[in-house]
Amino acid sequence: MSKRLTADLASGALTEALADIAEDAARVILPYWRNGVVAETKSDDSPVTKADREAEALILERLEARYPGVQTVAEEAVAADGAPAEAAEWFWLIDPLDGTRGFIEGRESYTVNIALVHKGAVVAGVVTAPATATTWRSGAPGAGASRRRFGESWQAIKVRNRPASPMAVMSHSMTDVEAERLASRHGCVQWQGTDSSLKFCLIAEGRFDAYPRTGPTSEWDTAAGQAVLEAAGGRVMAEDGQPLRYGKPRFGNGGFVALGG
């Protein structure tokens, strides 16, 4: 493993570099947003655009240039060529455009996601929201999480203490009845629908308290958001009550719940 990777992880320079890469990917994506982008349908029926593919190509090239030889597991590469047979000790999980449906419909809630996994645990991640020019990142181990607007300095963020009336944030992909049932199972009286990994970041910055999810997602949908949320003082638990882990069969997740303070 490259010495640079482990040194950058320890110093916090890793997510500084990942943030620059994700923001450059955002600059590739933005010209396509609200500009008549054409959606194609993948074999799993989910949509993909030129923006997804070009952003992923940029991210893969930049990661390989700075940290050569680390395994990459990226949404569009897996869609085209299949998933690697097994996860390496260290690997990247990349979703160049999470919330593609919202992106195509012109909503702001889509993100660029890059995360690093070591021995099945997510150890670093960045989430960038191109539409609002905002990036969230985990810092050096123990150094918390932070957020910046493009070109500005990092501000520390953290989860809020659970209030008397906790609020859930959830995928739009549910009926109101399902969403209400799921929110109340986690003690939440109110809930709001949002696309993409932004949900983890909204909990990390203390605006919501829970993000429960029952249906399947892919590991690249959750890893970067989990890194940010854990660094901000929250957690993401799989159905067994343990922190969500990575490198599972076909890089797929079951249900989970993300929680703030």
For ligand A3P, which stretch binds (CB under 6 A), given 8-16, 59-67, 98-106, 151-159?
98-106
Query: What is the rounded distance in angstroms from the CA atom of residue 116 to the CA atom of residue 185?
Result: 31
Within residues 81-100, the interface with Mg ion by CB under 5 A covers 95, 98
Cβ-closest position to ligand A3P: 171
The stretch among 54-62, 127-135, 168-176, 177-185 that binds ligand A3P (CB under 6 A) is: 168-176
Q: Which of 54, 76, 108, 221 binds Mg ion (CB under 5 A)?
A: 221
Q: Read off the DSSP letter of residue 217.
A: E
Query: Which residues in 110-149 contact ligand A3P (CB under 6 A)?
Result: none
Q: Is 216 in the site for ligand A3P (CB under 6 A)?
A: yes
Q: Is 15 in the site for ligand A3P (CB under 6 A)?
A: no
What's the CA angle centered on 73, arms 69 and 79, to 5 degrees? Answer: 135
Rounded to whole angstroms, the Cα distance separating 167 from 187 reads 9
Location of structure tokens 């690093």: 116
Query: How large is the angle between the packed helices 50-66 and 13-29, nearest 10 degrees?
Result: 150
The smaller minimum CB distance to ligand A3P, of residues 69 and 215, is found at: 215
- The CA distance from 172 to 192, in Å, is 9
Q: By CB under 5 A, which span of 59-67, 183-191, 205-213, 221-229 interacts with Mg ion?
A: 221-229
